[in-house]
Amino acid sequence: MRKKIVAGNWKMNTNLSEADVLTTALMKGYDRKENTEVVIAPPFTHLYHLYELTRTTNIEVAAQNMHQASKGAYTGEISADMLKSVGIKTVILGHSERRAYFHEGDQLLAEKVSAALKEEMKVIFCFGEELEDRQKKTHFNLVESQLKEGLFHIAIDDWQNIVLAYEPVWAIGTGETASPEQAQEMHAFIRKTIAEAYDQTIADHVSILYGGSVKPANAKEIFSKPDVDGGLIGGASLKAEDFLAIIAAI
Ligand SMILES: O=C(CO)COP(=O)(O)O
């Protein structure tokens, strides 16, 4: 049975005290659900504090990025080893904002994925097409290529540490969501692509999250689709009430 996951990507939002208040509210409101994982990904500066705060709960704290090298002269960067040293075992890689604003391409992401897996971290690997790709009807090709170039170098055993997040760029922060049917269609395609490159068992076991303007009002319908195993939530993860409502919808 695939794990259901609701993950909150806080992006560059919250100072430490706001992060503390938000996490405390989540801890109070979260009723543990069988086979469901809740993840929050705050900014780097809050990781250790929130890891300590949530230590005895079922809320997992993740990083939003990491560098591919283990250490060295890379001013401003953070390595997998550093994340692990403050209790962090999960990292988001390949987010469209990293791809667009920080020019992270498939090759670099492949290196980051390898570096994270080597340190036995879990990776939430993000990908998704731009509006233009969908209009040109090249969105399936694009997604296939993002998976092949950034992820399909990993070994079969590594898949147990991979969660996928399909995030169509045109739906991120825009209020526009992919319809549940569009999400299902792409998630089924992703599973088929994995089955062809690896095998059906791996495709059947990997959790695939949908991300892009998921809100309490639309979460249930999106999550009801058979190949959608949860969500990666941006804006709505910054309000405890909304995030809890989305978790309740899984
Ligand atoms: O980018 C996202 C999560 O990583 C989605 O953001 P929004 O939920 O704000 O559209």
- Among 6, 176, 232, say which to mutate for ligand 1: greatest number of ligand atoms within 8 Å of CB: 232
Lining residues, ligand 1, CB within 6 Å? 9, 95, 167, 172-173, 211-214, 232-236
H or E stretch at 5: strand 4-9
Query: By the 8 A CB rule, do 234 and 173 touch?
Result: yes
Residue 89 has a pLDDT of 98
Other residues' Cβ atoms within 10 Å of the Cβ of residue 220: 14
How high does pLDDT run on average in the chain?
97
Confidence of residue 5 (pLDDT cuts 50, 70, 90): very high
At 12, the amino acid letter reads M
Region 75-82: what's the mean pLDDT? 98
Region 12-26: what's the mean pLDDT? 98
Q: What percentage of the chain exceeds 90 in pLDDT?
A: 95
Region 16-27: what's the mean pLDDT? 98
Q: How far is Cα 143 from Cα 125, in angstroms, rounded to an integer?
A: 12
Confidence of residue 31 (pLDDT cuts 50, 70, 90): confident
Region 193-222: what's the mean pLDDT? 97
Instruction: Based on the residue annotation, tell me whether 167 is a catalytic residue of this protein.
Output: yes
Which ligand 1 atom sits closest to the C-alpha of 97?
A: 1
117-150 pLDDT, tens digit each: 999 999 999 999 999 999 999 999 999 999 999 9
Instruction: Based on the residue annotation, tell me whether 95 is a catalytic residue of this protein.
Output: yes
* C-alpha torsion angle, residues 203, 205, 206, 208 (rounded to 10): 90
Query: By the 8 A CB rule, do 99 and 168 touch?
Result: no
Q: How far is Cα 4 from Cα 228, in angstroms, rounded to an integer?
A: 9
Whether the predicted pLDDT of 99 surpasses 90: yes
Whether the predicted pLDDT of 173 surpasses 90: no
Known binding residue 159? Answer is no
Could you tell me the distance, in angstroms and rounded to a whole number, from the CA of residue 73 to the centre of ligand 1? 32
Confidence of residue 177 (pLDDT cuts 50, 70, 90): confident
Nearest to 64 by CA among 20, 94, 27: 94
Residue 127 has a pLDDT of 98
Residue 32 has a pLDDT of 82
* Catalytic pick among 46, 95, 139, 187: 95
Q: At what angle do helices 16-29 and 240-248 cross, to 10 degrees?
A: 40
CA–CA distances in Å: residue 76 to residues 44, 67, 73, 158, 159: 11, 10, 9, 28, 30
Known binding residue 9? Answer is yes
Confidence of residue 53 (pLDDT cuts 50, 70, 90): very high
Residue 24 has a pLDDT of 98
Known binding residue 235? Answer is yes
- Among 214, 215, 222, 243, say which to mutate for ligand 1: greatest number of ligand atoms within 8 Å of CB: 214
Q: How far is Cα 32 from Cα 47, in angstroms, rounded to an integer?
A: 22
Confidence of residue 176 (pLDDT cuts 50, 70, 90): confident
Nearest to 190 by CA among 162, 165, 220: 165
Which ligand 1 atom sits closest to the C-alpha of 214?
A: 8
Query: By the 8 A CB rule, do 243 and 233 touch?
Result: yes
| 13: exposed, middle or buried (Cβ count in 10 Å: 0-12, 13-18, 19+) | middle
Could you tell me the distance, in angstroms and rounded to a whole number, from the CA of residue 96 to the centre of ligand 1? 10
Q: What are phi and psi of 53, to 5 degrees?
A: -60, -40
Known binding residue 230? Answer is no
Whether the predicted pLDDT of 68 surpasses 90: yes
- Among 213, 218, 238, say which to mutate for ligand 1: greatest number of ligand atoms within 8 Å of CB: 213
Buried b (16+ CB within 10 A) or exposed e, 141-165: ebbbebbeebbeebeeebbebbbbb
Query: By the 8 A CB rule, do 250 and 36 touch?
Result: yes
